[in-house]
Amino acid sequence: MEPNTKESKKPDLMVESEEEFRPWSNLPDDILRQLIEKLYPVDRVRFCAVCRNWRVPIKGIQSVDKFPWLMTYLQFILYDEHTFEYTLADPVYRKSYTVREKSERERFYHVHASKFGWLLLRDEQRSEETTTCFLLFTPFDKKFIELPELPSSGYDLGVATFSSSPACSDCTVVAIGGKSYVGEENYIVISTYRSRDETWSSKKFCGQIFEPVKDVAYSRGKVYCSISYGLVLGAYDVADKTWNLLVHLRHDGFGDVLLDSYRITNHLIESDGEILLAIHPNERDWRVYGFDISKATWVVKQSLGNRALFLGATSLSLAAASGGDTRDIADMIYYHELDKSVGFSLTKSSSVREMRERERAQMAIVEYDEDDGVMNGDDETDYDHGSLNQGGGNEDEKQLFGWCASGVMNRIWIQPPY
């Protein structure tokens, strides 16, 4: 007896429709979310436009794809018509989307942080000598959250970041400024603003700081601050409101890395609870250090393992998943230059090679392995980030997003909120 002889038993629900299958336009949200998990950001937005039933809140649904997008802009405003314009580059479909928006006033922003699909901006138009205005902005659906004015009289406000998605109730914004001129009063002011609070709360710490904070990383309730290229590492505990110096190295603390060039950039990165410091001592080189709590110092990293670092306004660390779309980015450092965004393989770099002369050379980036494809139907394309890593004759350097915007632009990594 064949099972399909039982078809006549199907319930009345189906009788109205001639099809013997259940309708697609009346599904529980749970089911829809499972489908959305399989989709990339653009597809998620389009998914919601298919029919009314499919309109579920797509923010925060787990995603296999964590690869950041590239946002580029010349200025946030074009002065002629009060329009602000920027481009979002989608690494999956290799497509650039231009967003243009009319604005009732001139807008000029400085980007302080980029996290969870949101940017923390300083409104240069409204900020004055005595106050600073911050706002949170998501370039995807163009939502603004204006924060209360922060009194910042008499000092430079250098860095700012935030803890979690502004959609969360415990999102905390931190802004750090201070005075650091030798011979004058030295202090650091740390201001925090908790989502839905009325005002900022600020705390001032005197002494010890002789240079401005260059970068911050928010990790587990603490704000880590790098000072003097990371020779000094401080941490501010947001709940306890305490400030501690964790690392305090001498000028030659990084050995052979010369720290006398104004071109040197450094980034602090939170990576799986670990604090990393990436230093770019010259055009050809990167060094990465991990913070060792027990020794209160930096320990050089010869490899990032399966991680990739995206350095920028806010640096982020991604674990290259064993499968999926991030498998080829392991051990890479991606960063912006004036007119391009490039990748650098830490293990392959010449300086690290020297360090491990006796060890095996050439073990990092392998070309995309064709046989390693994911299961796919006939009519789908295998969208693969790994293949974006092409180009660039230099062995140490691979261009990322080479297909989109060129020219001198402001560049920001941004993770889609969808």
Partner 1 sequence: MEKQQTPFGFHKLIFILLILLSVSMSALGRDILSDIIELKIESHIASGGNFDSVTVELPNLTGKTLAKVIEYCKKHEESSEKTGELSEKWDGEFIGGVEVGMLMDLFLAGYELKIKGLNDLAASRIGGMMLGKTPEEIRVIFDIKEDPLCKKSKSPKEGERFARDNPWAFQ
Q: How far is CA 8 from the centre of its chain?
A: 55
Quick note: the x/- pattern for partner 1 over 105-144, rule CB under 8 A, is: -----------------------------------xxxx-
At a CB cut-off of 8 Å and minimum separation 6, what does 301 contact? 276, 288, 289, 290, 346
Which helix (H) or strand (E) covers residue 306, if one does?
Answer: none
E strands of 39-186, at which residues?
Answer: 69-73, 83-90, 95-102, 109-115, 118-123, 131-132, 134-138, 143-146, 150-151, 156-162, 172-179
Out of 61, 74, 83, 93, which residue is the one contacting partner 1 (CB under 8 A)? 93
If one asks whether residue 381 binds partner 1 (CB under 8 A), the answer comes out as yes
Q: What tokens appear for 224 in the block?
A: 């880590």
Cα distances from 92 to residues 88, 308, 382, in angstroms, run: 12, 17, 10
Name the helix (H) or strand (E) containing 8. Answer: none
Please tell me the chain's helix, strand, coil percentages from 3-state DSSP, rounded to the nearest 5: 10, 40, 50
Is 13 one of the binding residues for partner 1 (CB under 8 A)?
yes
Which DSSP letter does residue 32 get?
A: H
Write the burial class of residue 362 (CB in 10 Å: 0-12 exposed, 13-18 middle, 19+ buried): exposed
Name which of residues 141 to 170 contact partner 1 (CB under 8 A): 141-143
Report phi then psi at 305, rounded to 5. Answer: 65, -130
- Given the complex with partner 1, which of 212 and 417 has the nearer CB atom? 417
Does position 182 interact with partner 1 (CB under 8 A)? The reply is: no
Which two tokens mark 253? Answer: 């603390």
Closest to 284 in 3D by CA, of 261, 304, 313: 261
Task: Show Cβ contacts of residue 375 under 8 Å, excluding neighbours closer than 6 positions.
Answer: none
Task: With contacts defined by CB under 8 A, name the span among 21-29, 103-111, 185-193, 328-336 that binds partner 1.
Answer: 21-29
- Binding flag, residue 369, partner 1 (CB under 8 A): no
Nearest approach in angstroms of CB 224 to partner 1 is: 34
Rounded distance between C-alpha atoms, residue 11 and residue 163, angstroms: 51
Question: Is the CB of 38 or the CB of 204 nearer to partner 1?
Answer: 38
Q: Which of 223, 297, 364, 380 binds partner 1 (CB under 8 A)?
A: 380
> Among 255-263, 313-321, 363-371, 375-383, which window interacts with partner 1 (CB under 8 A)?
375-383
When the beta carbons of 96 and 125 are compared against partner 1, the nearer one is 96
Tell me which stretch binds partner 1 (CB under 8 A): 39-47, 217-225, 346-354, 387-395: 39-47
Least distance from partner 1 to the Cβ atom of residue 131, Å: 30
Q: Using alpha carbons only, give the angle 281, 282, 288 rounded to the nearest 5 degrees.
A: 40
Residue 16, interface with partner 1 (CB under 8 A)?
Answer: no
Q: How far is CA 30 from the centre of its chain?
A: 29
Q: Which stretch binds partner 1 (CB under 8 A): 9-17, 74-82, 109-117, 323-331?
A: 9-17
Cα Rg of the chain, angstroms: 24
Does 43 sit near partner 1 (CB under 8 A)?
yes
Part in contact with partner 1 (CB under 8 A); list of ranges 46-54, 144-152, 234-242, 343-351: 46-54
324 vs 392 by CB, closer to partner 1: 324
Query: Minimal distance in Å, beta carbon 379 to partner 1?
Result: 7
Q: Which of residues 47-66 bind partner 1 (CB under 8 A)?
A: 47-53, 55
Count of residues that bind partner 1 according to CB under 8 A: 61
4 binds partner 1 (CB under 8 A): yes
Which of 256, 201, 247 lies closest to 224, judged by CA? 247
Select 19 or 198, whichever has its Cβ closest to partner 1.
19
Q: Whole-number minimum distance, CB 99 to partner 1, in Å?
A: 5
Least distance (Å) from partner 1 to the CB of residue 87? 9
Q: Please give the Cα distance from 101 to 157 (Å, whole number).
A: 29
Structure tokens at 259: 């720290």
Q: Which residues would be at the binding site for partner 1 (CB under 8 A)?
A: 1-7, 9-14, 19-27, 30-31, 34-35, 37-43, 45-53, 55, 88, 93, 95, 97-99, 140-143, 375-381, 383
